Copies of this chain bind each other. A is one copy, B any other.
Amino acid sequence: MRIDLNCDMGESFGVYRIGEDDKIIPYITSANIACGYHAGDPMVMATTVVLARQHRVAVGAHPGYPDLMGYGRRSLETFPGEIKNYLLYQIGALGAVAKSVGVSLQHVKPHGALYNLSADDERAASELIEAIKGYDPELILVTLAGSRCAQMAIDAGLRVAREAFPDRAYLQGGRLAPRTLPGAVIHDRDTVRERAMELAARGKISTLDGNEITLEVDTLCIHGDTPGAWELAAAVREALETAGIQVLAMGQSGHGEG
């Protein structure tokens, strides 16, 4: 049994700092690096790739909408081709910065509102898949476990890492409970750690209404933008390793094979 731990990184911009990337990176295996549209800038990207390299953490692109003011969390209408080319632009930009310090990209994980949209919207998912195939068909697509996008990407021959969120409540169908629902975000550290274990070891997660669903997952998302997030990451990792689960980057682990 093995699992990847991914975390969003490099979301600072100019003088603005977000996240404690240097504290959390020892505990994760894959870093999703912002690409300058919703967060990040070329200097932050370079610094973050080097940080990941130092910790032997695999690097992926974390592209989003061109909406720095809204941090890529707001829905933005797009016309055909825009998502594809926004993604190519950002993946290529990070790929170049990474290549200049000797690092290759492992994966692509869309950010925020684009993550949510592409999970289920076929047009968005198609453009995401086309972007990855157009740039480098070996890159792993990280998307919501059980989503339409996951199936479409597998059908298209892409490597896919199915992602779950131990700190988010789930609904019956395997969808994330909307943040507006009470209990949608789980703050208790022990609970999060236990849910991470459930997901990694048993491929099961309990839903908001008390049932249990099956969810095959390749990677768990660790949120890094709360103070003390690194302690949670450390706790999750320790629990996983203590239980004999290998914590490995998705590209190394044999996961992500579609």
A76 CB → nearest B CB, Å: 5
Q: Does A92 contact B81, Cβ atoms closer than 8 Å?
A: no
Q: In the docked arrangement, what's the CA distance between A94 and B135, Å?
A: 11
Which one, B41, B43, B74, B88, contacts A96 given CB within 8 A?
A: B88
Which one, B16, B17, B77, B100, contacts A134 given CB within 8 A?
A: B100
A78 CB within 8 Å of chain B = yes
Q: In the docked arrangement, what's the CA distance between A244 and B97, Å?
A: 43
Contacts of A33 in B (CB 8 A): none
A124 CB within 8 Å of chain B = no
Q: In the docked arrangement, what's the CA distance between A161 and B128, Å?
A: 36
A82 CB within 8 Å of chain B = yes
Q: Does A13 contact B69, Cβ atoms closer than 8 Å?
A: yes
Q: Does B99 contact A96, Cβ atoms closer than 8 Å?
A: no
Band of interface residues on A:
35 or more
Q: Does B100 contact A131, Cβ atoms closer than 8 Å?
A: yes
Q: Does B42 contact A96, Cβ atoms closer than 8 Å?
A: no
Specify how many copies of this chain sit in the oligomer.
Answer: 4
Q: Does A113 contact B82, Cβ atoms closer than 8 Å?
A: no
Q: Say whether, besides A92-B95, A134-B99, A134-B100, A85 and B16 are in contact (CB < 8 Å).
A: no
Q: Does A85 contact B15, Cβ atoms closer than 8 Å?
A: no
Q: Does B96 contact A36, Cβ atoms closer than 8 Å?
A: no
Q: Does B82 contact A42, Cβ atoms closer than 8 Å?
A: yes
Q: Does B135 contact A88, Cβ atoms closer than 8 Å?
A: no
Which one, B68, B84, B90, B96, contacts A14 given CB within 8 A?
A: B68
A158 CB → nearest B CB, Å: 14
Contacts of A71 in B (CB 8 A): 14-15
A174 CB → nearest B CB, Å: 24
A197 CB within 8 Å of chain B = no
Interface-centre pick from A67, A77, A85 (highest chain B CB count, 10 A): A85
- Contacts A/B (CB < 8 Å), 5 sampled: A13-B16, A13-B69, A42-B88, A75-B76, A99-B135
> What are the 3 tightest A-B residue pairs by CB atom distance, in nearest-first order?
A92-B96, A100-B134, A42-B85
